[in-house]
C-alpha cells in the first residue's frame, strides 16, 4: 500500500514510474512541522527498530544512530562520519513491531537524522518546499522494498560479459600499456574480460576524442582486444573542455546546451581538462545531443562506458577564486585571532565543490529555468539517462555496459553505479559489504566498489580478501588511482592465489548472472540482509557482515587483516563450502548457531542453504569462453528440490522469454536422489 503526498510544486525527478494518485489529508506516520524556513517530519521509533535503506551511504546496514544527507557529493575521503556520498537515494524502511517505508523524492538536499540527536527520533529535514513523500506500508521490510522497487521501475540490465573480471587504473596511458595488462593476465592464467580507459585515452581530456598519439588506430585496437576476449571501457566525464575548434564545445555553445550563469553566459568550472562547461543534462535537447556523441565511440567498437565527475565535481570556479583572492588581499596576517586562521584554511579547502558555486548556475528544463542547487541530485542521473536513452537508439537490440558515479533513484533504470573513490583500507572492504544490500533496496543491482581500493597503496592480503568478496558483486573491477602502487593481481608476488580466487568467480557466473537477472526482472534484491529471509530469528535480524546472495547461498567475507577466519552465525543448518579455487574445495555440514569458520587469506567460504542447489561451471579465461553446457552441482538436501537458472545470450533484450530458464532438479529416482537437468551434469556433490 503506497500513499503519495505532494508538497508545493515539485520538479519532476523521473524517479517513480508507477501512476499513483496524490493522497488527500495529512501525511500518515509522520508529524510535520515548519521551523526556520525548513520543513521537518518526525517519526518516533521503538527501541529496537531497525532502519534500512539510503543506498550509497556510510555506516552500517542499519542506519540508526547517524545523520545522512541525500545530496550527491564528490567525496574521495569516505570516512565513517561522511554524511553524503556520490549518490542520493532517499528511501528508508523503519522496521520493528510495524514496518513502514518513506521515499523522499526531492532533487535538492534532504537531511535524515536517524536517532542521532535523540535515539528514538527519526527526523527528515528539507529546505526546499517542493517535493513528494511516498509512504509505503507492508508486512515486512522486504515486502516494502519490493513495493518500492516496483514503483520505481525495472533496473538497468547489464550484458553478461560485464560479470567477468575487469581491470582498471588511472590510467593505462597507451595501447602498449593495455596490451601488457592483458598479456600479464593471460600469461598468469588470471581470467579477464575488460580493461578500462581512464581520462588519459582522450586527446587533452576532451570527451569523445581519442588521443591519436597514444591510440593511433583505435578501432583496430578495440578489435585486437576483442579478439582476445577483452572489451575496452572508456570513461566519459561530465565537463566539456573549453577549446575553440573542439566540435563538442562549439556545438554546445552554438545551440545553448551548457548550463548558464545568471547573466546568461555559459558557466565555467575547473575540472580535469582545465576550464570546462557543463552540459545541461536537465534539458531534453542537451541530453539527446550529448547522448548521440557516444556513437562516436560505439562506432569504433566500444560496448561499455563509465560516466564520471557528474555530481558535478568542481575543483574550483573562477568566481570562487576571485572572491578568495579578495579575501587573501584583505587578510590581516598579523591578527591575534586564531579563529581567522581556521577560517582561512577552511576557505582554501572550500574552493572545491562549493555550495555557493552550485547556487550560481542554472538549467533550462525544457522552458523552466531552475537554479542548480534545486535540482542538484538529478544532474548525474540525467547524464546516465542521456547515455541510456542514446543506447536505445544507437543499438536498440543490444545491451551496453553503463555505470555512473553520481546517481539519484530513477537513474537505476538507465545504468548501474560504482561507489566512487574509496581507499585501500580494510574498513572500506567492510563498507562495500554493508552497502551492497542497501544499493539493491534502491534499485542499483549492477554495482560494485573499486576492489583493492582506489586511493592509497593496497597490500596483497587486502586485495585478496577484497576479491574474495568482489567475486560476488556484479561489477567486479579492480581500480586504483594515479600515483598509487600498481594494483593488478600479478604485481603481488605469486599470482597463483589470485588466479584461483578469480577462477571461483568464473565458475559462479551462471549462478550469479541468473540471480542478478531474476532480481532485475522481478524487482527483487540479489544481496539481502539475513533478516529479510529469517525475520523471526532475533540474531539474524542484527547480523550486518553476512549476506544472502541470491536464493542458494550465504556469504560471510573475512574483512580483517591477519584473520585466520571469522565467527559466522548460521540461521539454519547449512553446508559450508570453502573454495580455494574453482575446483579445490572442502565441505562441512554445520548446525544452526554461531561457529568460528577458518578461511585462510586465499580461501573463500560460501554457505549453501538447506534444500538449495548451487550450479557451477568450469572456469574460463573470459566469459565468451565459459562452457555452460556442463555443470557440477552442489546441493544440501535430502529431498526433491529444483533450481531455475536464468540463462540467455547475455546481450540481447528478450528478457521475458520463458525459454530463458533452465531447470536443475534433485529428484528421487528409485530410492536414490539424483540430479536431472537438460544440461550435462558432470558431478553431483549431494549432502
The residues pairing with 138 across neighbouring beta strands, listed in sequence order, are 99
Interaction with ligand GLC in 376-415: which residues (CB under 6 A)?
Answer: 405
- In whole angstroms, how close is the CB of 130 to ligand GLC at the nearest point? 31
Q: What does the CA dihedral 186, 188, 189, 192 come to, rounded to 10 degrees?
A: -50
**How many angstroms separate the CA atoms of 442 and 145, rounded?**
8
The residue (of 234 and 252) whose beta carbon lies closer to ligand GLC is 234
The candidate with the shortest Cα–Cα distance to 685, out of 668, 670, 666, is 666
Bridge partners of 594? Answer: 569
SS3 content of the chain, % helix, strand, coil (to 5): 25, 30, 45
The yes or no reply on residue 199 touching ligand GLC (CB under 6 A) is: yes
Q: How far is the CB of 282 from ligand GLC (least distance, A)?
A: 22
**Spatial separation of the C-alpha atoms in residues 12 and 590, rounded to whole Å:** 51
Our finding on whether 170 is near ligand GLC (CB under 6 A) is yes
Q: How far is the CB of 405 from ligand GLC (least distance, A)?
A: 6
Q: How far is the CB of 312 from ligand GLC (least distance, A)?
A: 12
Nearest alpha-carbon partner for 158 in 384, 402, 409: 402
Mask: binding to ligand GLC, 244-273, rule CB under 6 A, as x and -? ------------------------------
Q: Counting contacts by CB under 6 A, is residue 421 touching ligand GLC? A: yes
Residues 169/175/178/184 CA torsion (nearest 10 deg) = -150
One character per residue 466-505, x = contact with ligand GLC (rule: CB under 6 A)? -------------x--------------------------
User: Contact between 455 and ligand GLC (CB under 6 A)?
Assistant: no
Q: Does 177 interact with ligand GLC (rule: CB under 6 A)?
A: no
Please give the Cα distance from 389 to 292 (Å, whole number): 9
Minimum separation from the CB atom of position 486 to ligand GLC (A): 14
Q: Site size for ligand GLC, by CB under 6 A?
A: 9
**CB count in 10 Å sphere of residue 586:** 11
DSSP string, 473-515: SSSEEE---TTSPP-SGGGSS-THHHHHHHHHHHHHHHHHHHH
Give the CA distances from residue 320 to residues 269, 328, 365, in Å, rounded to whole numbers and listed in that order. Answer: 10, 12, 26
CB of 290 to ligand GLC, least distance (A): 18
Strand, helix or coil at 84?
coil
Measured from the CB atom, the residue of 348 and 482 that comes closer to ligand GLC is 482
Nearer to ligand GLC, 424 or 507 (CB): 424
Task: Give whichever of 235 and 390 is closer to ligand GLC, judged by the CB atom.
Answer: 235
Residues in region 220-239 near ligand GLC by CB under 6 A? 235
**Smallest separation, CB 120 to ligand GLC (Å):** 38
- Is the Cβ of residue 198 or residue 207 nearer to ligand GLC in the bound state? 198
What is the distance between the alpha carbons of residues 456 and 394, in angstroms, rounded to a whole number?
A: 39
- CA atoms of 473 and 287, how far apart (whole Å): 30
> Which letter, b or e, does each residue of 44-73 get, where b requires 16 or more Cβ atoms within 10 Å of its Cβ?
ebeeebbbbbbbbbbbbbbbbebbbbbbbb
DSSP 12: P
**524 interacts with ligand GLC by CB under 6 A:** no
Q: Which is nearer to ligand GLC, 104 or 232 (CB)?
A: 232
User: CB of 226: closest distance to ligand GLC in angstroms?
Assistant: 23
CB of 398 to ligand GLC, least distance (A): 26
Residue from 56, 125, 266, 308 touching ligand GLC (CB under 6 A): that is 308
Give the nearer residue to ligand GLC in terms of CB position, either 363 or 479. Answer: 479
* Cβ proximity to ligand GLC, 41 vs 272, nearer residue: 272
Q: Are 107 and 138 in contact (CB under 8 A)?
A: no
Radius of gyration of the chain (CA): 25
CB of 479 to ligand GLC, least distance (A): 6
Indicate the residue among 39 and 463 with the shorter CB distance to ligand GLC: 463
Q: CB atoms < 10 A from the CB of 369, how many?
A: 10
Between 43 and 172, whose beta carbon lies closer to ligand GLC? 172
| Residue 420 lies near ligand GLC (rule: CB under 6 A) | yes
198 binds ligand GLC (CB under 6 A): yes
State how far Cα 656 lies from the chain centre. 24
DSSP 25-78: SSPSS-EEEEETTEEEEEEEPPTT-EEEE-SS-SS-SS-TTEEEEES----S--
Which residue's CB comes closest to ligand GLC?
A: 170
Q: Which is nearer to ligand GLC, 309 or 400 (CB)?
A: 309
Minimum separation from the CB atom of position 455 to ligand GLC (A): 9
- The answer to whether residue 207 forms part of the interface with ligand GLC (CB under 6 A) is no
Closer by beta carbon to ligand GLC, 447 or else 531: 447
Q: Which residue in this structure is represented by grid cell 537554479?
A: 371
Alpha carbon distance 281, 305 (integer Å)? 17
* Contacts with ligand GLC, residue ranges (CB under 6 A): 170, 198-199, 235, 308, 405, 420-421, 479
Amino acid at each position: 500500500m503506497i500513499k503519495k503526498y505532494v508538497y508545493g510544486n515539485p520538479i519532476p525527478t523521473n524517479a517513480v514510474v508507477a501512476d499513483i494518485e496524490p493522497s488527500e489529508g495529512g501525511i500518515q506516520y509522520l508529524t510535520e512541522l515548519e521551523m526556520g524556513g525548513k520543513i521537518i517530519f518526525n517519526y518516533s521509533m521503538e527501541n529496537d527498530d531497525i532502519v534500512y535503506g539510503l543506498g550509497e551511504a556510510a555506516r552500517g546496514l542499519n542506519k540508526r544512530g547517524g545523520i545522512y544527507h541525500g545530496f550527491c557529493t564528490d567525496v574521495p575521503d569516505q570516512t565513517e562520519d561522511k554524511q553524503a556520498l556520490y549518490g542520493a537515494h532517499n528511501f528508508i524502511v523503519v522496521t520493528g513491531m510495524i514496518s513502514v517505508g518513506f521515499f523522499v523524492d526531492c532533487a535538492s538536499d534532504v537531511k535524515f537524522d536517524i536517532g542521532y540527536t535523540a535515539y528514538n527520533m527519526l527526523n527528515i529535514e528539507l529546505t526546499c518546499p517542493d517535493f513528494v513523500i511516498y509512504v509505503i506500508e507492508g508486512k515486512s521490510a522486504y515486502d516494502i522494498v519490493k513495493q518500492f522497487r516496483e514503483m520505481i521501475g525495472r533496473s538497468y540490465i547489464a550484458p553478461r560479459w560485464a560479470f567477468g573480471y575487469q581491470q582498471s587504473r588511472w590510467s593505462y596511458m597507451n595501447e602498449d600499456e593495455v596490451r601488457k595488462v592483458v598479456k600479464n593476465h593471460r600469461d598468469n592464467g588470471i581470467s579477464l574480460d575488460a580493461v578500462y580507459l581512464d581520462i588519459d585515452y582522450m586527446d587533452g581530456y576532451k570527451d569523445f576524442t581519442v588521443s591519436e598519439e597514444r591510440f593511433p588506430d583505435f578501432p583496430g585496437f578495440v578489435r585486437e582486444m576483442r579478439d582476445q576476449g577483452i572489451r575496452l571501457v572508456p570513461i566519459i566525464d561530465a565537463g566539456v573542455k573549453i577549446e575553440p575548434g573542439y566540435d563538442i564545445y562549439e556545438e554546445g555553445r552554438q545551440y545553448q546546451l551548457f548550463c548558464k550563469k545568471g547573466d546568461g553566459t555559459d558557466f565555467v568550472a575547473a575540472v580535469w581538462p582545465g576550464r570546462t562547461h557543463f552540459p545541461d543534462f536537465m534539458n531534453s535537447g542537451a541530453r539527446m545531443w550529448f547522448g548521440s556523441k557516444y556513437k562516436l565511440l560505439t562506432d569504433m567498437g566500444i560496448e561499455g562506458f563509465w560516466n564520471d565527475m557528474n555530481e558535478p565535481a568542481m575543483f574550483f570556479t573562477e568566481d570562487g577564486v576571485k572572491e578568495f583572492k579578495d579575501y587573501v588581499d584583505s587578510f590581516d596576517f598579523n591578527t591575534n585571532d586564531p579563529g581567522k586562521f581556521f577560517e582561512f584554511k577552511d576557505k582554501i579547502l572550500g574552493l572545491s565543490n562549493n555550495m555557493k558555486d552550485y547556487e550560481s548556475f542554472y538549467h533550462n528544463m525544457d522552458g523552466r529555468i531552475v537554479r542548480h542547487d534545486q535540482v542538484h541530485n538529478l544532474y548525474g542521473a540525467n547524464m546516465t539517462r542521456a547515455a541510456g536513452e542514446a543506447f536505445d537508439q544507437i543499438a536498440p537490440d543490444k545491451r551496453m555496459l553503463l555505470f555512473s558515479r553520481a546517481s539519484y533513484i530513477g537513474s537505476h533504470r538507465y545504468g548501474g553505479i560504482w561507489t566512487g573513490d574509496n581507499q585501500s583500507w580494510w574498513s572500506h572492504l567492510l563498507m562495500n559489504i554493508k552497502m551492497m544490500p542497501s544499493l539493491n533496496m534502491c534499485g542499483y543491482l549492477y554495482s560494485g566498489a573499486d576492489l583493492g581500493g582506489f586511493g592509497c597503496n593496497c597490500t596483497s592480503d587486502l586485495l585478496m580478501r577484497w576479491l574474495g568478496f568482489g567475486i560476488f558483486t556484479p561489477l567486479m573491477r579492480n581500480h586504483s588511482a594515479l600515483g598509487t602502487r600498481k594494483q593488478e593481481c600479478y604485481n603481488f608476488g605469486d599470482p597463483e592465489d589470485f588466479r584461483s580466487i578469480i577462477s571461483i568467480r568464473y565458475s559462479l557466473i551462471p549462478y550469479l548472472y541468473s540471480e542478478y537477472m531474476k532480481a532485475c526482472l522481478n524487482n527483487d534484491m540479489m544481496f539481502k540482509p539475513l533478516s529479510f529471509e529469517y525475520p523471526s530469528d532475533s540474531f539474524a535480524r542484527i547480523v550486518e557482515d553476512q549476506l544472502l546472495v541470491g536464493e542458494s547461498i550465504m556469504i560471510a567475507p573475512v574483512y580483517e587483516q591477519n584473520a585466520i577466519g571469522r565467527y559466522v552465525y548460521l540461521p539454519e543448518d547449512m553446508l559450508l563450502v570453502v573454495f580455494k579455487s574453482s575446483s579445490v574445495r572442502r565441505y562441512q555440514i554445520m548446525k544452526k548457531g554461531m561457529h568460528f569458520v577458518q578461511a585462510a587469506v586465499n580461501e573463500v567460504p560460501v554457505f549453501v542453504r538447506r534444500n538449495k542447489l548451487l550450479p557451477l561451471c568450469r572456469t574460463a579465461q573470459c566469459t565468451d569462453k565459459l562452457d555452460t553446457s556442463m555443470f557440477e552441482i552442489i546441493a544440501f538436501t535430502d529431498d526433491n528440490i529444483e533450481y531455475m537458472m536464468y540463462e540467455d545470450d547475455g546481450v540481447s533484450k528478450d528478457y521475458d522469454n520463458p525459454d530463458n530458464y533452465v531447470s536443475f532438479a534433485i529428484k528421487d529416482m528409485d530410492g536414490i536422489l539424483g540430479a536431472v537437468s537438460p544440461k550435462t551434469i558432470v558431478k553431483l556433490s549431494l549432502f
